[in-house]
A = this chain, B = another copy of it.
């Protein structure tokens, strides 16, 4: 059975409950749904955040997310994947990203969901700019994200 893949890059907020409801249910054999939601944190070591702004490369972002989703489906035999990523200015507490995976069993759903987040963070052409107590800066890519993504490569 072909996996159902749904990709969206949008400025508006999304509803995690509705997105999960739209993933294929157990009638299609899915016993397991794993989801991840990323939120704008209002505070970190540097102080309070005012806002975050997400720039992206229209067209390539969607293509890149679809490639990542295809890879996860092939690798874990998923029944469905949804990836939603917001762009534009976001404030503390707002949702940034949602990834949902449906699989027959939980091991595949969990692994694929974490893989998708790790790859999305290191491959999809999106960039964060932050304004906070420390001023206004582009977010620097973190080695820890590259390391996490590297875990999924065959040894």
Contacts and interface: CB of A to CB of B under 8 A. Distances in A.
Contacts of A17: 15-18, 20-21
Given A34-B34, A110-B110, A110-B114, A27 B15 contact: no
Interface string A64-90: 000000000000000000000000000
Interface of A is mostly: mixed
Contacts of A43: 29
A30 to B, nearest CB: 6
A56 interface: no
Contacts of A21: 17
How many copies of this chain does one complex carry? 2
B39 A30 contact: yes
Interface residues of A, number: 36
A104 B114 CA distance: 15
A109 B18 contact: no
A150 interface: no
| A-B residue pairs, 4 tightest by C-beta | A17-B17, A26-B39, A31-B41, A26-B93
